[in-house]
Structure 1
Amino acid sequence: MTSRSSRRALRFLLAPVVLVAAVTGCGFMGGSDGSASRSGGRSFTVAAAGDILIHPQLIDQARVDAKETGRGVDGLDFGPLMAGIKPVISKADLAICHMEPVIGKPDGPFESYPDFLVPPQIAGAVKDVGYDTCSTASNHSLDHGYAGVKRTLDTLDAAGLRHTGSFRTQKDSFTPLIMDVKGVKVAQISFAFGFNAHGLPRGKPWLVNQNDLGRIRAAENRAREAGAEVVILSIHWGREHRPNPTIPQLEFARRLARETGIDLVIGHHGHVVQPMEKVDGTWIAYGLGNHVARHAVPTGLTEEGVIGWFTFTERGGRWDVEARYEPTLVEIPPDTGVTADGTPVEPGKDQVEDYRLVDVAAELERDGLSDQERSRLRLAFERTQGTMLNRGAAKDGLKPLTELPG
């Protein structure tokens, strides 16, 4: 193994230890291991993150990692890419992912934008870091028609992940997803604004949920009638690459808060972090950014994401929700290229060597960070914090899950 490979392997092995130490030192996670809160009511925690998009560079990384870990499936191992957020995600009582692309076959072929087709091995990695369920309604849900929807859901089933938003049958589309979370019946519903150039197939209008207040209200009502005590909406909306929510987003959020009984709204699609806001008592996370992605032209913002952390506590027959956020970052190695004689150029000593999804606060506690790495991490944390709070959520108690290390 080369010295570069040795450093990569050592970092992968040590990172979970460092991160666990950081998370267990976080006060906000304490007290979530029992079914009752200090006030006596039932309580549970929810973690939710942004878009999962597997671009070609991330597939190449999984191929390299499989050779080094020996744990790959059909030559791909996404475990090292995702490992950095496991200490947070695995602590939640319910962890929700957003699976944006269509899932393909283990040995490909794979496709990127505009019609995504990604390795099924990502589903196992998502499950392994602690996710329980995924929303699947997105503008890419129909990239490969009904067959793509079915294969995606079959793959999630095989990995042990629950899912909602797209469906194999009409009956499935009318069957609420309700999960027992520490004795509380929690429903998840998932909707998307549209499907790019693809239309819903003739005879299958139920294949993917499309945004509409009446449809969302009907889905909530079905969940309530089936016994749901809490309903969480995952919604694909807004405009890409805009840190501020659009006027239609803001207006629709207010209608959701005022005209439904939904307890929490989790937004996706922007590929950049958008703020959280409490509207008439309901927390709206307008956009959690990218969870893991590698756009053709990284902007800095597209590598930053956030894990929303929500503590539900029953008080007086109602659910009180406390919101927190944990900034994340996809570290991107430089495009090193080759010299004139074709020799590969190795990264500099202060540059990251592999694609890795990291918990920013925990990574800042790691020994051996270069000044360059530390500066990038602090920028990610501070910029995410500024975005989270720019609609006044601090007055409603929104805080980081883990404070920025000194």
Structure 2
Amino acid sequence: MIPRPLRRSLAARAAALAVLATTAACGLVHDDTARGARPDGPGFSVAAAGDILIHPQLVEQARKDAKTTGKGDHGLDFGPMMRGVRPVISKADLAVCHFEAVAGKPGGPFEGFPDFQVPPQIATTAKAIGYDTCSTASNHTLDHGYRGVVATLGALDKAGLGHTGSARSAGEAAKPLITEVKGVKVAQLSYAFGFNGNEIPAGKPWLANRTAFKDIAAAERRARKAGAEVVILSIHWGREYQSDPSRGQLSLARRLARETGIDLIVGHHAHVVQPMEKVDGTWIAYGLGNQIARHDVPTGLTEEGVIGWFDFTRRGGSWAVSARYVPTLVTVPPAPDDDGRSPERAEREHRLIDVAARLRTGDGLSAGQRARYRLAFERTEGTLLNRGAARDGLRPLEALPD
């Protein structure tokens, strides 16, 4: 683990170089490679996104799509719903998802809130669009007890996705999730604040990871001992539907940044986008919103999400990390009016889209759709930057088209 004082020194030097490299023409801070700094080791990219939470309306959409595509498993095809982000997710060297709910059987029955049980087919789709690993510690991890954890991890195993945050045995819980990425060993940790009143069984303390600073710090040490060169923490925290991080989030984030060697912190649970911030050289994404979800009462904010994009470059024995973002949106068909008709030119299907990419192509978009997509991008951007992250170089992976 690299001592915090050294990391702060390196971060300060990198920040100073970033200011000098800002161009008068476009005002963008270029990455270290563009500034001419020479890396002394391999680099890699990480894409991390928000909650994958399959509500009943999304199951019905997958059922409709399967009838159209003739594909799917047990009459469900999540591919059309998710493919809008595949170009981004599949491009990353390591793509990390957050699998929020409990997986059931392929043919159901399925359940929504409060005790989720979702189609395991969504795990197969997550793998197909490019995800490599998933965090599984959330407030819904224990919705169906030990059997639910076993079913969920079995579904992720079958799909070929790595997982961390819950476990089927003490041995599995003790083994860090380490993925080799372009020759670099990257560990992922996963913790949640609690489990909606469901208690971890006394005889199975390893079943799911509950947030405690000492436990997270110890997990990082175990990962380093197992050979991890980079450690990423996925953490389920904060207040639902609140765009500002809570005091608890801010306090724990600072302690993790200053007292551990964790290289990146990505947060979930709020179901809306929260800011990104760099603390003592460590990037913290407080909340990535929803990757794919469909709450019973859509608020606009709950349909907006963000993919965090992080480039890791080794310099001077440490890791320099630059951060970018990709605003996303889940389109929601409107409710029919009193005579059963839907508004003209409205959204027809639940679809996860890369907002900038969809606006860039623009084929067949109505003025209303363009306005909604621009709002999603600009609101997400404003939220991400409202703790000063622009000073540390946070910018979109793809700018909003004119």
Q: TM-score, normalised by structure 1?
A: 0.89
| Equivalence for 2:141 | 141
| Equivalence for 1:231 | 231
Superposed counterparts of 1:130-279, under 5 Å? 130-279=130-279
CA distance in 1, matches of 2:338, 2:210: 47
Amino acid at match of 1:117: Q
Residue aligned with 1:301, SS:
coil
Q: 1:203-250 CA deviation, whole Å, 9 max, x = no partner?
A: 011100010010001100000000000000000000000000001110
Amino acid at match of 1:202: A
| Equivalence for 2:16 | none
Residues 94 and 132 in structure 1, CA contact (< 8 A), matched pair in contact too: yes
| Equivalence for 2:363 | 367
CA distance in 2, matches of 1:326, 1:90: 14
| Equivalence for 1:355 | 350
Residue aligned with 1:271, SS:
coil
1:390 aligns with 2:379: no
Q: 1:69-99 CA deviation, whole Å, 9 max, x = no partner?
A: 0111000000000000000000000000000
- The alpha-carbon distance between structure 1 residues 151 and 28, as it changes in their structure 2 partners (threshold 3 A), is farther
CA distance in 1, matches of 2:203, 2:376: 46
Amino acid at match of 2:345: D
- State the Cα distance separating 1:338 from its structure 2 match: 6.6
Residue aligned with 1:86, SS:
helix
- State the Cα distance separating 1:38 from its structure 2 match: 5.7
| Segments of 4+ moved more than 2 angstroms | 37-41
Amino acid at match of 1:380: A
1:282 aligns with 2:291: no
- The alpha-carbon distance between structure 1 residues 78 and 28, as it changes in their structure 2 partners (threshold 3 A), is farther
| Equivalence for 1:24 | none
- State the Cα distance separating 1:28 from its structure 2 match: 9.1
- State the Cα distance separating 1:382 from its structure 2 match: 0.2
CA distance in 2, matches of 1:301, 1:348: 21
Residue aligned with 2:84, SS:
coil
Residue aligned with 1:47, SS:
strand
1:294 aligns with 2:290: no
Q: 1:39-86 CA deviation, whole Å, 9 max, x = no partner?
A: 353100000000011001100000000000011100000000000000
Residues 334 and 343 in structure 2, CA contact (< 8 A), matched pair in contact too: no
| Equivalence for 1:68 | 68
CA distance in 1, matches of 2:337, 2:98: 33
Residues 165 and 209 in structure 2, CA contact (< 8 A), matched pair in contact too: yes
| Equivalence for 2:119 | 119
Amino acid at match of 2:70: G
Amino acid at match of 1:131: Y
- State the Cα distance separating 1:150 from its structure 2 match: 0.4
**RMSD (Å), alpha carbons:** 1.6
1:93 aligns with 2:93: yes
Residue aligned with 2:50, SS:
strand
CA distance in 2, matches of 1:244, 1:175: 34
Which stretch shifts more, 223-232 or 328-337? 328-337
Which stretch shifts more, 195-204 or 372-381? 195-204
- State the Cα distance separating 1:372 from its structure 2 match: 0.2
Residues 99 and 136 in structure 2, CA contact (< 8 A), matched pair in contact too: yes
CA distance in 2, matches of 1:255, 1:145: 31
Residues 28 and 401 in structure 1, CA contact (< 8 A), matched pair in contact too: no
Residue aligned with 2:311, SS:
strand
CA distance in 1, matches of 2:158, 2:294: 26
| Equivalence for 1:324 | 324
Q: 1:137-158 CA deviation, whole Å, 9 max, x = no partner?
A: 0000000000000000000000
Q: 1:271-327 CA deviation, whole Å, 9 max, x = no partner?
A: 000000000110000000011000011100000000000000000100000000000
Amino acid at match of 1:174: A
Residues 40 and 316 in structure 2, CA contact (< 8 A), matched pair in contact too: no
Q: 1:7-36 CA deviation, whole Å, 9 max, x = no partner?
A: xxxxxxxxxxxxxxxxxxxx999x9xxxxx
Unpaired runs of at least 5, structure 2: 1-28
| Equivalence for 1:56 | 56
- State the Cα distance separating 1:348 from its structure 2 match: 3.0
| Equivalence for 2:397 | 401
- The alpha-carbon distance between structure 1 residues 390 and 73, as it changes in their structure 2 partners (threshold 3 A), is same
Unpaired runs of at least 5, structure 1: 1-26, 32-36
Q: TM-score, normalised by structure 2?
A: 0.90
Amino acid at match of 1:291: Q
Residue aligned with 2:302, SS:
helix
CA distance in 2, matches of 1:39, 1:174: 34
Q: 2:374 aligns with which of 374, 378, 382?
A: 378
Residue aligned with 2:111, SS:
coil
- The alpha-carbon distance between structure 1 residues 136 and 398, as it changes in their structure 2 partners (threshold 3 A), is same
CA distance in 1, matches of 2:304, 2:38: 34
Q: 1:161-186 CA deviation, whole Å, 9 max, x = no partner?
A: 00000000011111001110000000
